A and B are shown apart, each in its own frame.
Chain A
Amino acid sequence: MTAWRDTPISIADDLFLVALDERTGRIRLHPRALSLGLAGALLAELALLEHIFYSDGRIKVPSNVARPALPHHAVIVDQLAAEPQHPVSTWLEFFAQSAPDVVAAGLVARGFLRKEISRGLMRIKETYMASDESALAWRTLRLVNIIGKRDVRSWEDGILISLLDSTALSSDVLWHGAAGDLENLQDIVTSVSADPFFHVLITQVSALIAAGVMTQRR
């Protein structure tokens, strides 16, 4: 059994794990919200690693920085460098197309999850079962604890919590939380938004999800 309860996990990986229902293996977020949230998480990771930066309303790739170590990060950076003209919202929609598959595959490859496929009458159903159910549940409880105590100790956690809010997953996560948790959540989001790039990421994820609701996109 992979011991990953306290293993440092990237923002995108953590978001995927928190979005997973540990009992059923189903994602408790609708597909568009998950995709956009993961896309935002991947871009935030790259920004924290200083492989990209935000300037004049566009994402830019510095020329004198080493190539990202992770293959999927390298692919993203290559794509950002090839077409720097697109706004953040376009990149979010573009990376959202592949983000769930990329992140899920990575978690399966590292033994955090195993993928199960069941065939129904009309369609094939994919579920992801954790190799350690209690560790999976702990990822969510950890965040509830951080929000409850207003004890954000890293940009990664702050951004993750902000993306929970953008994707509306916070209502599930904070289901068992205390009365003041929502206010703490908003304060965390506001603090993270002090950084212009993360402000754009968080708000654009939210805006794109809302736009999908208004145009009835799946």
Chain B
Amino acid sequence: MSTPVQTPSVVTASLAKDRLGVFSVIMFSMTAAAPLLVVGGLVTSGWAATGIVGLPLAFVVIGLALAVFSVGYVAMARHVTNAGAFYSYVARGGSKSLGVGASFVALLAYYMLQVGLYGAFGVFAQGYLTEKLSWSLHWWAYALIAWLVVALMGALRVDINSRILAVLLAVEVLVVIIFDAVDLGHPHGGNVSLTTFAPHNLFVTGVGAAFAIAVTAFTGFEAAPVFSEESRHAKRTVPAATYLAIVVMGVLYAVTSWSIAVGDGANNVVNDARKSQSSLIFDVAGRVLGANSFIVNLGNVLLLTSVFAALVSFHNSCTRYSFALGRERVLPQALGKTRPRSGAPLVASAVQSAVALIVIILYAVEGWDPLLKLFFWLGTTGGFGILVLLVATSLSVIKFFARDHGGESFWTRVIAPVVATLVLGYVAYETLNGYGQLLGSPNSKARWILPSLYVVVAVVGIVWAFVLRSSKPDVYAAIGLGANASTVDLPAPRTGELAPDSEPVGTTSAE
């Protein structure tokens, strides 16, 4: 007896041509990676603010923790197809009320990450262009220029071409590798030291601050499941893109931050970071390559493009979350509307732009430090929000698969998420413990105000969900469905019957 031959589906093959391949999905994950921004901005600001030398080891620890977290995360992506990712997983695994709480936390976290970057862009642009072109604009002028471009791109739904992004990222990585090679080839004191990987340089008082910086640096790795339904072979593409993003980011950040410390001397990085801040990576490499060399200048320009790409990427993340919540009617429905001609979620984009504008103006008027208090404070607080979401998602993964194993292995649905929950939970605890050190201001009120914001929005979200459950059950039913929120059954018409008197068609067979 012969085995029946399965005819390949014409429909499936035709649709597959339009789907995203592994490379495209990886690029979407990596657009928020920004190696020069992380090592040139975040790490050096981190050394300056916290004084913790062991940041390179923090990248390794967090990278490993995220890899374990991703086991359950990508497994859940196979069962929950919703581009909302984190909050939809919490809604499906935990409860809809917790999902709304998580969505508000996510929204706040991504807003902070995006808005904080305007401080980085303004300071980096001011520093470089003042030196090279003798321009004398304030940091906020550059920030406002970047804001205008990002706002217009969001409103008109203009994206940076993925090929351009890929080229920029590739050149950025190449420059970083060159800097690493130069730093390791010309170590301070003549010895390539592994001091910054020594545990005693990381596990100090305030270790949570280092972890928070590392988590912030990895933000963006979680993007792949968002493109699950758009991927050609989602079961291969999503895990591949997620793990590859973690490995590439982790190796780049750990090696480059270590290289800077090798080139400058582990005992010098903290003081030198406080003196030169964002230019430290260029100063150290510039001692060998020449401060005005082509490669150092290219690095400075790529730092700006790196920050700009991250601004656009996080603006899109904020808009996407608001749009999803608007479609679900958890937030005002206007956020879930699009412009017919462009398909742009104009209201969601405009709201994000308006908030960013208000913050930039506030910092400019008050004269607050844009690198420390806008970029670093908001950026790392945004990273802390992501960390909270990671813990919540990990717990949701456990509960989701406890209800239905879904064919996943014991390692995938129990061991990995439990380990991830414990490790990331510990990281979150230590971060809270060392929040004052994270901010570089152990006695500042901000050390409890900033993390408390997440508690406030989470509680508001949960309470709002309970209100929806009792007053708008149809809206409550759609929580966590994102784009598919419209597929939930609609309530009966308000008055009378508006459809024609003829029998409904399309449901009964003609046979």
Contacts and interface: CB of A to CB of B under 8 A. Distances in A.
A202 to B, nearest CB: 8
B486 A158 contact: no
A167 B340 contact: yes
A108 interface: no
Contacts of A192: 499
**Counting chain A CB atoms within 10 Å of each CB, which of B499, B505, B506 scores highest?**
B506
Contacts of A94: 11, 14-15
Interface stretch (A9-17, A28-36, A120-128, A131-139): A28-36
B498 A191 contact: yes
A197 B492 CA distance: 16
Contacts of B489: 199
A55 B339 CA distance: 34
Contact of B497 (A33, A191, A197): A191
Interface stretch (A46-54, A67-75, A99-107, A111-119): A46-54
A60 interface: yes
Contacts of A208: 483
A165 to B, nearest CB: 10
Given A48-B505, A207-B484, A211-B229, A33 B343 contact: yes
B340 A30 contact: yes
Nearest to B494: A187
B340 A171 contact: yes
Interface string A155-169: 100100000001111
B219 to A, nearest CB: 18
Contacts of A152: 498-500
B134 interface: no
Contact of B507 (A53, A65, A168, A206): A53
B493 A215 contact: no
Nearest to A28: B341
B504 A195 contact: yes
**Counting chain B CB atoms within 10 Å of each CB, which of A28, A62, A194 scores highest?**
A194
A93 B511 contact: no
Nearest to B345: A213
Contacts of B343: 30, 32-33, 209, 212-213
B340 A64 contact: no
B15 A215 contact: no
B489 to A, nearest CB: 7
Interface residue tally of chain A, by bracket?
35 or more
B319 to A, nearest CB: 9
A152 B499 CA distance: 6
A211 B508 CA distance: 30
B229 A53 contact: no
B483 A210 contact: yes
A63 B337 CA distance: 41
A193 B509 CA distance: 19
A203 B327 CA distance: 12
B392 to A, nearest CB: 21
A154 B227 CA distance: 39
Interface in A177-198: 183, 187-198
Contacts of B337: 168, 171
A103 B127 CA distance: 56
B340 A188 contact: no
B509 A60 contact: yes
A217 B230 contact: yes
Nearest to B159: A216
Interface string B473-511: 000000000111111011111110111101011111111
Given A30-B342, A190-B493, A55 B507 contact: yes
B498 A64 contact: no
Interface string B7-37: 0011100110010000000000000000000
B401 interface: no
Contacts of B320: 213-214
B11 A189 contact: no
A215 B498 CA distance: 36
Nearest to B227: A215
15 contacts: A30-B341, A33-B340, A33-B343, A50-B510, A91-B11, A152-B499, A158-B500, A167-B340, A188-B498, A191-B498, A193-B490, A206-B486, A207-B487, A210-B327, A210-B482
Interface of A: 28-30, 32-33, 44, 47-48, 50, 52-55, 60, 62-65, 79, 82-83, 86, 90-91, 93-94, 97, 150, 152-155, 158, 166-169, 171-172, 183, 187-200, 203-204, 206-217
Interface of B: 9-11, 14-15, 18, 83-84, 159, 226-227, 229-230, 316, 320, 323-324, 327, 336-343, 345, 482-487, 489-495, 497-500, 502, 504-511
Given A158-B500, A191-B498, A195-B506, 7 more contacts: A29-B340, A30-B342, A33-B340, A82-B10, A83-B10, A213-B345, A214-B324
Pairs A-B, 6 closest by C-beta atoms: A47-B506, A197-B506, A210-B483, A214-B83, A211-B483, A30-B343
